[in-house]
Amino acid sequence: MTRIAILGAGNWGTTMALVLQRGGHDVSLWEFDSVQAARVAETRVNEKFLPGHLIPGSFAITADVSRALKDADLCLLAVPLQSCRSVLRAMNRLAPGTLVVSLMKGIEQTSLKRASEMCAEELETFPPQSFSVLSGPTIAVEIAAGLPASAVIASISRETAARVQSEFSGESFRLYTSDDLIGVELAGAMKNVIALAAGMCDGMNLGANAKGALLTRGLTEITRLGVALGGNARTFSGLSGMGDLFTTCSSPASRNRSVGEALGRGENPLAILSRMTMVAEGVWTARAARDLSLRHQIAMPITEAVCRILDGDISPRRVLSELMTRDLKAED
């Protein structure tokens, strides 16, 4: 039986715990808040993030990182990416042979680094071939309910990707492997930025034509940045690219789309974020992506517009007018 530690007991971490437990694995779930950990351990329900789903009593819930990681074969990172470094430092040295699977989607705002780069910096002697990232159209509440879903597991090591694929796949959850770690990480991060813009379309009632155009041009921006940073263009038309983008921009359960919708209705960005119980990574990734685009001289007008709206510099309707009246050009 494979021993799996999941660091992060939000809706996605809790969902993956349920999926892996159904697959017969020995699971430990780490929650940083000791009070919340004790509550979930007692009630066996994560009412804060995944209400209505009973957590089996066969796996441990703890606020002790060392306890969660003890004898783990696989370590899943399911924490908000912007706070990942503190968790990685708490992990310190992993046991030899432990595989790390990132469930995070984002770009660190301060360093402009991806999760794989952060792990390489913070985990001493950790071999990069032991790292992988899981990404794709994965709305947590649907997967927790046992609805069918497919995603991608990417690693520079084919053996690592195949091992995780085998451990995670089941009747309702199917993984495909990829060796394009950079592309899969960036696709998962950037789709959250476009989802903010898609939500604004919904909030302003702009219709299906506008949203279809936005998703198409948004995918162009994602691909443009991803290829410039070393990703494979084909990745962005697959599950972790177009598949995740479409799902996140259309699902009512998408946090980033919901934040965008509130912005489109004219709500204040700070007020929206202050009432959220879960993280909308696109808010921070948008600024990191904009900085990367400036560094690499890549045109990303949608991303730039999202940042200006989040910063309170301009209204969504004014941005729409500016985007629609940009200089005419050929489609690229």
Nearest Cα residue to 257 out of 190, 200, 315, 318: 200
How far, CA to CA in Å, does 243 sit from each of 81, 234, 236? 21, 12, 9
Q: How many CB atoms lie within 10 A of CB 57?
A: 9
| 105 a catalytic residue | no
CB neighbour list of residue 276: distance below 8 Å, 6 or more residues apart: 255, 259
Counting runs of H as helices and runs of E as strands, what totals does the chain give?
15, 10
Strand 3-7 vs strand 26-30: parallel, antiparallel, or unpaired?
Answer: parallel
Distance of CA 256 to the CA centre of its chain: 11
CA dist., res. 13 & res. 21, Å (int): 12
Residue of 48, 105, 113, 191 with catalytic role: 191
Q: Report, as residue numbers or ranges, the catalytic residues.
A: 191
